[in-house]
Structure 1
């Protein structure tokens, strides 16, 4: 039947957005093939129920994006097939770089990736998603919250959307590859409970500003009580004096850096004098001192799985369990 488009007043998108989305979808699905002649401005205006100006503006945008080209007297043609992917991450860090590098290296050459960051700002998140609608073949999004999806995410076609790292989609229409933030980390701690019991106290450094799911605090408390570990929750580490003979679990990188600096200033040796576990592995954590023990998801694996979803478009619902990497800091 070829390419067909009809403006839908019930869809919360402008006429141009709907038309852009329909054309890019048709190219992605092979309905419109490389080199194929596009419907004329007059044809698409009449059949789609939109003005000639709307069609012309949409075609102009697609030309700017190099998705289509035009030849005088002949019309508009589909360029060589390429796919644009939006990857929206929370922030930039060493382990996010691992994720992105793995994701990009597992995509074919004809896939272009726009990498964006929302920095946990709801307004920025909403604006970036709104502006992206109809512009991409596939969407890979790190949500702001662990407990629910932001409403704006629901505007993305669920067949093109992958939720990454954290977020709980309702139902089975949205694919996800997320971390296990409760049972998984506790299973890791159980592997080294004998080491933790050699310290006088086990501290969880959990600032109020961290996006890490707060449910982990309860799980940590239950774990310590089960294994009779004296423990404490620390919100602001900078107001505390680092105590030799104690163990610390840090979530944020800046708290890890603060502890390492304090140890250096006091002549405290990690491992023997002070226990240290950090969340999320990076290459640097393997090299600092005798190495920093970490609880971490495999971000390279997460990136590779995300790339397979983008290429295959097959639904995926997977929760990755973190692993414990034992090094000299514990």
Structure 2
């Protein structure tokens, strides 16, 4: 019969059932138990651990439900061939998040399964999804919910298995992250497009911190750029058809606001890149062709997906601020 190749973690506050499930899950995630490895029989593990047969049986059933182990009448219990599961929690669904996910998925072995979920910047949903995922996955890829801090619930995940994406402020060297730079890098992008943007008398930033899940550092960056370049600056929470005016550049975060600006220009016969300038955040395939191409400030989300996949496969430390680029097109 198979001998245990894992140590039971008797962490205080956990029931014996939780200890057993956690210990076997960790052994699988860390490669101590590999695909196809036999597990001790219920009787043997009960004798070796001192836990009741009922506890061992319940633990094995939980692990089977999570697809971490399998059982067969003549073989007993063994590690499932589909035991490497990745938890991926993104903020919301959008074209550039799809690019991220597709790049991530394409750079992982087919044997890895990925559960993709979204928190939509809802604190309660975020916490609940993380809580429900604990102990069920080999690795965790999470888009943090705030720029200023790392959400406290993430401290419940082993830092070696957790990768923070997009935004957040790492608290120590244990944190793995792939983040955007929403401040200095944005200023550099605006400076790169200064010659085109200075054609306009005013720049309007369409941004509301209360409804737009985007770091407020963007306001400081854009207003500072405008002051330096002698361009009038204005911030509005939303944009409507009748508000779009000539000789103005609009910097939009939401695609819905981008659509409003483009529709208004068509209604008023204003030409993008001449009468009205448009700058958008985050590139998508559609922005490459709409209106002759929309100028964007964007991180390479395909690169983010590739880097995240490498972290999952190799479990190597990663602490990186991804570059942000200005992609000039006809819209300014």
Query: Deviation of residue 158 (structure 1)?
Result: 0.5
Q: Please name the residue that 2:45 is paired with.
A: 44
Q: How many residues align?
A: 329
CA distance change for structure 1 residues 218 and 81 in 2, over 3 Å: closer, same or farther?
same
Deviation track 1:199-243 (CA, whole Å, cap 9, x = no partner) reads 110111112311111122112222211121111111222396111
Determine the C-alpha separation between the residues in 2 that align with 1:72 and 1:79.
15
After TM superposition, list the pairs within 5 Å mapping 1:92-171 onto structure 2. Answer: 92-171=93-172
The aligned runs of 1:212-227 (5 Å cut-off) are: 212-227=214-229
| Deviations 1:223-273, CA, capped at 9 Å, x for gaps | 211121111111222396111110011111111111111111111111111
Detail structure 1 runs of 4+ shifted over 6 Å in the superposition. Answer: none
Cα 1:215–1:15, aligned 2, differ >3 Å: closer, same or farther? farther
SS at match of 1:306: helix
Alpha-carbon spacing, 1:15–1:288, altered in 2? closer, same or farther (3 Å)? farther
State yes or no: 1:53 paired with 2:39: no
Residues 316 and 200 (structure 1), Cα distance of their counterparts in 2 relative to 1, 3 Å cut: same
Deviation at 1:149, TM superposition (A): 1.2
Following superposition, the deviation at residue 32 of structure 1 comes to: 1.9
Judge conservation of contact 1:296–1:322 (CA < 8 Å) in 2.
yes
Structure 1 residue 14, shift from structure 2 partner: 5.0
Bigger mean CA deviation after superposition, 254-263 or 16-25:
16-25
What CA distance in whole angstroms lies between the structure 2 residues aligned with 1:215 and 1:142? 18
How far apart are residue 2 of structure 1 and its match? 5.0
Q: Any gaps of 5 or more consecutive residues in structure 1?
A: none
1:95-154 superposed Cα distances (whole Å, 9 cap, x missing partner): 000000000000011110000001111111111101100110000000111111111111
CA RMSD, Structure 1 to Structure 2 (Å): 1.9
Q: Give the conservation status (yes or no) of the 8 Å contact 1:6–1:49.
A: no
Larger mean CA deviation between 124-133 and 217-226 belongs to 217-226
- Larger deviation: 227-236 or 130-139? 227-236
1:230 partnered with 2:232: yes
Once the two structures are overlaid, the 10-residue window that deviates more, 205-214 or 310-319, is 205-214
Alignment correspondent of 2:287: 285
| TM-score, scaled relative to structure 2 | 0.93
| TM norm structure 1 | 0.94
- Tell me, yes or no, if the aligned pair for 2:242 and 2:264 is still in contact at 8 Å: no
